[in-house]
C-alpha cells in the first residue's frame, strides 16, 4: 500500500481530516489531486483506492472529509452545499502551501455530489489546472431520482421541520438516495472501505434553499474537465451530465455501458475509470518527476 500521512487543515472554525498521498522519491514540485465524496460519503469509502493508483502514476493526492462527516470536526451530519464548497477551497489552499506541490497544477476530483463540487471549485478558481467528475451529480432539479409523490412530500416535510433524513434508503422510504438498488450499492462501497465512519444521517434543511446546480458552471469552465458517466446511473440521471459536458469548452466525456452509480468503486468498472483518469492526467498535467521516472526517461532516450 502507498505510504500516506494523516493530517488536518482548517476550514472556518473547524478542521477537516485528510490523507496526504505523496509521490515517493519526487525530485521536483508536481501536481496534486484534491479529492472528496459528496453528501455523506467519507474518504474511507473507497476513495483511497483511486488515490493509490494516482500516486503510483506520479500524482500526489489530498483526500479529505467534509466538516460534519467522517473524521472531520464541525456539527455532525450537517450538510450544506455552500459549506462543502468552503471545505474544497480550504483543501485547495492547503495543498498549494506544500513545498512538494506545483501550485499551478492542482486538480479537483469528486464522486457524485463531490463531482459537482469538483466542477464548482474548478470553475471559481482560475488557477485550477483540471477537474474530474465521476458519476457526477450536477443538477438536483434535472438529475435526481423521482420516487412516489408520497415519499417526496414526506421528504419535504422533514426539511421544513429542520430534521434529518437517511442518506440512502429504499424507493418507498424518504431518503436522499432511494433509487432502486442504490442502498445495496452504497452499503457495498462502505463495507469494502477502510474502517468506515459513515453514518446514514444527513440534515435536510438545505433542500429549501438554492438548488444544487453546479452544471450551470460548465459552459464557462476554463480548464480541461473529464466527465465519467455510468450509462445506467439511476441516482444521477446521465442525460443532464452528458449535456453539461458537451457545453464545457474543454470537456472530455467518457460513457461506461451498463454501469450504475456505485459500480465504479471496485472490479472491472473501477479499473476502466481509473485507467481513463490517469491517461487524462498525464495528457494535461504530466506528473511528479522522481528518481525512477528520470532513470526511465534516460533509459528510453539511450535505447
Q: How many CB atoms lie within 10 A of CB 240?
A: 19
**pLDDT at residue 157 in the model:** 98
In angstroms, the CA 170 to CA 10 distance is 36
Domains of the chain, each with CATH number or no CATH: 5-144+213-302 (3.40.50.1820)
In angstroms, the CA 39 to CA 53 distance is 24
**pLDDT at residue 3 in the model:** 87
Residue 133 bridge partners (DSSP): 110, 227
Show the cell assigned to 262.
456505485
How far separated are the first and last CA of the chain, in Å rounded? 32
In angstroms, the CA 160 to CA 103 distance is 42
Mean pLDDT split into 10-residue runs, the chain, 303 residues: 89 98 90 97 98 96 98 98 98 97 97 98 98 98 96 97 98 97 97 96 97 97 98 98 98 98 98 98 82 35 26
Residue 35 bridge partners (DSSP): 63, 109
**pLDDT at residue 27 in the model:** 81
In angstroms, the CA 210 to CA 187 distance is 29
**pLDDT at residue 2 in the model:** 66
* Letter string b/e over residues 179-216, b meaning 16 or more CB atoms within 10 A of that residue's CB: beebbebbeebbeebeebbbbbebbbbbbeeeebbbbe
**pLDDT at residue 26 in the model:** 79
* Letter string b/e over residues 144-167, b meaning 16 or more CB atoms within 10 A of that residue's CB: bbebeeebeeebeebbeeeebbbb
In angstroms, the CA 223 to CA 126 distance is 8
CA Rg, the chain, in Å?
Answer: 19
HSE at residue 120, side-chain half, CA atoms within 13 A, is: 26
Helix, strand, or coil (residue 291): helix
In angstroms, the CA 96 to CA 99 distance is 8
> Shortest CA distance to 212 belongs to which of 126, 67, 89, 85?
85
Helix, strand, or coil (residue 260): coil
HSE at residue 130, side-chain half, CA atoms within 13 A, is: 22
**pLDDT at residue 24 in the model:** 87
Helix, strand, or coil (residue 166): coil
Q: What is the pTM of this model?
A: 0.93
**pLDDT at residue 25 in the model:** 81
Amino acid at each position: 500500500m502507498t505510504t500516506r500521512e494523516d493530517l488536518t487543515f482548517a476550514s472556518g472554525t473547524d478542521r477537516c481530516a485528510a490523507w496526504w498521498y505523496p509521490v515517493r522519491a519526487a525530485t521536483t514540485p508536481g501536481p496534486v489531486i484534491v479529492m472528496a465524496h459528496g453528501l455523506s460519503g467519507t474518504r474511507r469509502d473507497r476513495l483511497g483506492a483511486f488515490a493509490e493508483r494516482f500516486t503510483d502514476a506520479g500524482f500526489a493526492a489530498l483526500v479529505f472529509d467534509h466538516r460534519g462527516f467522517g473524521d472531520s470536526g464541525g456539527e455532525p451530519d450537517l450538510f450544506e452545499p455552500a459549506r462543502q464548497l468552503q471545505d474544497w477551497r480550504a483543501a485547495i489552499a492547503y495543498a498549494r502551501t506544500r513545498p512538494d506541490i506545483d501550485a499551478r497544477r492542482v486538480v479537483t476530483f469528486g464522486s457524485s455530489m463531490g463531482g459537482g463540487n469538483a466542477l464548482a471549485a474548478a470553475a471559481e478558481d482560475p488557477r485550477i489546472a483540471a477537474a474530474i467528475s465521476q458519476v457526477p451529480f450536477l443538477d438536483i432539479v434535472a438529475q435526481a431520482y423521482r420516487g412516489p409523490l408520497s415519499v417526496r412530500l414526506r421528504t419535504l416535510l422533514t426539511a421544513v421541520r429542520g430534521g434529518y433524513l437517511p442518506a440512502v434508503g429504499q424507493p418507498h422510504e424518504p431518503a436522499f438516495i432511494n433509487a432502486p438498488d442504490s442502498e445495496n450499492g452504497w452499503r457495498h462501497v462502505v463495507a469494502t472501505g477502510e474502517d468506515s465512519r459513515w453514518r446514514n444521517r444527513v440534515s435536510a434543511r438545505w433542500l429549501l434553499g438554492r438548488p444544487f446546480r453546479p452544471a450551470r458552471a460548465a459552459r464557462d469552465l476554463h480548464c480541461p474537465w473529464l466527465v465519467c458517466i455510468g450509462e445506467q446511473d439511476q441516482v444521477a440521471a446521465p442525460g443532464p451530465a452528458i449535456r453539461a459536458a458537451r457545453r464545457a469548452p474543454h470537456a472530455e466525456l467518457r460513457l461506461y455501458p451498463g454501469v450504475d452509480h456505485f459500480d465504479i468503486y471496485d472490479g472491472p468498472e473501477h479499473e476502466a475509470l481509473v485507467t481513463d483518469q490517469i491517461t487524462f492526467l498525464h495528457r494535461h498535467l504530466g506528473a511528479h518527476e522522481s528518481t525512477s521516472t528520470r532513470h526511465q526517461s534516460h533509459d528510453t532516450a539511450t535505447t
